[in-house]
Amino acid sequence: MALETILSGNWIDIGLIGSLTLIVIVYLREKWDNLFAEKPKTPPTHKGWIPWLGLALEFGKGPLHFIDRKRKELGSVFSIKVAGEYMTFLTDPKDFQHFFLSPCLDFQKAVQGPVQNVASITKESFFKYHSSIHDLVKGKLAPSNLSPLMSHKLYKEFEEQLGKLPSHGKIDLNRLIRTIMYKSVLNIFFGKNILPTDNDEQYQILEEHFTKFDRQIEYGSKLPAFVLGAWSKSRKYLINMFQNIVDPEKQKSQELRPDDKTLLHNLLECVDKENAPNYSVLLLWATLANSIPMVFWTIAFIVTQESVYKKVCEEIERELPSTFETISDADLRKMPYLKSCILETVRLRSPGIIPRYVTKPFEVKGFTVPAGNLVFASPFWAHRNPEYYPDPETHKPERWNMKDVERNIFPEYFFAFGGGRFQCPGRWFGLMEIQIFAIMFLKQFKCEAFDPVPPPSPLHAVGTQQPEGPCMIEFTRLQGKC
């Protein structure tokens, strides 16, 4: 073949046409294959009438009720598209073990963004320290470390705070419990009076800021801070508060024996200096946000049901002498009815959603959730499945009779504390503080409730719900039996 012919362009044209034809064939073949290939079946999805914003508004107005409406409409596994993001919800407890143990789902990737928005902790710092912080809290609050040291600390704190109550009063139960519990827990985890628990005026300011911060934390985890003026102000107050504390506390901790260090001291030894105040705010939130409302719900469920109230008091009277100087783990084990009341409360006020990020396609109930989506298990709705919890809306401590509750062996379909590698590390402490507080409060005060147990606010999907209305009680200090 003459060189001129090749260079003349004819060969180039032929080559070009050949290549283009090949590309078209490959493209069509792929399209054809795709057309008939079995596509992964994604969960039934609701995208909303007004794309993007529509569903975000509907979801944001009351996420708990929204999840319930959609599961009735679409089934126990369903997806929604909110503000451009696909979110899949699981509401059947049978799927939860698989959810918590799946290697396709990731806890850290699901919470890193929200943590950055809420506490301004950088991505690098979060991935560097998160596992160590989790393991630290888990170790310090492991059952072997709780008794007798921690149970005695709780006893002493509650004794002091309950001692400050007048002998008689009428108050919203949530308010009463919040103040006593916040002060006690802050003294235990952050050091006696390190936060202003002994100064009424300063303490009120701290409680108000924390309450505002907690109330809107879900919005704060999604929206830019400037949209949430009051919330940002409270967040700033909390970070500034810790900025003044972290350096002297870290200094102090170097001279303390391991047993004398607080959880704050341990945290400060574990994280970077720049983010230390921000991690401290997260620790503050984790220690108060779920367990303190749970104390409120427990006492509310007990004092509003005459027969339950009577039975709890009889058990306390039977098992605890009239004068006692501490409450040990052994004492707690002798009160299974109280424990049942607490677990039944935890069942009814479990977190609305627990998130995970899909790293590899996740199969559930014959559906495939694609990588990049967020998946949420909903203990709140799973715990209302009548198949596992007949008459689910009723608070029935008796349903825990059959379980080995004193030894913390829970039924298969109970997920209030999450699961897997990053299951709640504070759960044993949480249960213990509710038990000890309930014993001490009910032994010292007689209560009369003027309201029924208020409904849980549907506004929050993450964590324990807040009450939607007041629960007024009259309390009178007892001289003898409860």
The residues binding ligand HEM (CB under 6 A) are 107, 134, 137, 141, 286-287, 290-291, 294, 346, 351, 354, 416-420, 422-427, 429-430, 464
Torsion angle defined by CA atoms of residues 462, 416, 144 and 284, in that order, rounded to the nearest 10 degrees: 10
Instruction: Return d(Cα 477, Cα 163) in angstroms, integer.
Output: 10
383 or 443, CB closer to ligand HEM?
383
- Residues 6 or more apart whose CB falls under 8 angstroms from that of 231 comprise 212, 213, 215, 216, 217, 219, 220, 225
Which of helix, strand or coil describes residue 81? strand
Q: How far is the CB of 470 from ligand HEM (least distance, A)?
A: 22
Kindly state the DSSP code that residue 148 receives in the 8-state scheme: I
Spatial CA neighbour of 205 closest among 236, 234, 178, 229: 234
Which two three-digit tokens encode residue 82?
A: 């909110």
Q: Is 424 annotated as a binding residue?
A: yes
Q: Give 112's Cβ-side CA count (13 Å radius).
A: 15
Q: How far is the CB of 181 from ligand HEM (least distance, A)?
A: 10
Please give the C-alpha separations between residue 260 and each of 118, 197, 268, 326, in angstroms, as whole numbers: 30, 19, 14, 19
Do the beta carbons of residue 454 and residue 471 sit within 8 Å?
yes
Q: What are phi and psi of 103, to 5 degrees?
A: -75, -5
How many angstroms separate the first and last alpha carbons of the chain? 110
114 or 361, CB closer to ligand HEM?
114
Spatial CA neighbour of 264 closest among 137, 377, 155: 137
55 or 90, CB closer to ligand HEM?
90
- DSSP letters of 385-441? -TTTSSSTTS--GGGGTTS-GGGT---TT--TT--GGG--TTHHHHHHHHHHHHHHH
What value, to the nearest 5°, has the Cα angle with vertex 112 and ends 106 and 113? 120
170 or 421, CB closer to ligand HEM?
421
55 or 179, CB closer to ligand HEM?
179
- DSSP letters of 345-376? HHHHT--S-EEEEESS-EEETTEEEPTT-EEE
Q: How far is the CB of 271 from ligand HEM (least distance, A)?
A: 13
Q: How far is the CB of 23 from ligand HEM (least distance, A)?
A: 48
Spatial CA neighbour of 240 closest among 207, 278, 202, 189: 278
Do the beta carbons of residue 58 and residue 66 sit within 8 Å?
yes
Q: How far is the CB of 28 from ligand HEM (least distance, A)?
A: 46
Q: How far is the CB of 362 from ligand HEM (least distance, A)?
A: 16
184 or 253, CB closer to ligand HEM?
184
Which of helix, strand or coil describes residue 167? coil
Q: How far is the CB of 418 from ligand HEM (least distance, A)?
A: 2
Q: How far is the CB of 286 from ligand HEM (least distance, A)?
A: 4
H helix and E strand count, the chain: 21, 11
56 or 439, CB closer to ligand HEM?
439
Find the length of the chain.
482
392 or 420, CB closer to ligand HEM?
420
179 or 262, CB closer to ligand HEM?
262
Q: How far is the CB of 273 from ligand HEM (least distance, A)?
A: 21
- Residues 6 or more apart whose CB falls under 8 angstroms from that of 137 comprise 263, 283, 286, 425, 426
Which two three-digit tokens encode residue 374?
A: 């967020």
231 or 380, CB closer to ligand HEM?
380
Q: How far is the CB of 134 from ligand HEM (least distance, A)?
A: 4
Which segments are annotated as binding site? Answer: 424
Which segments are annotated as binding site for heme? Answer: 424
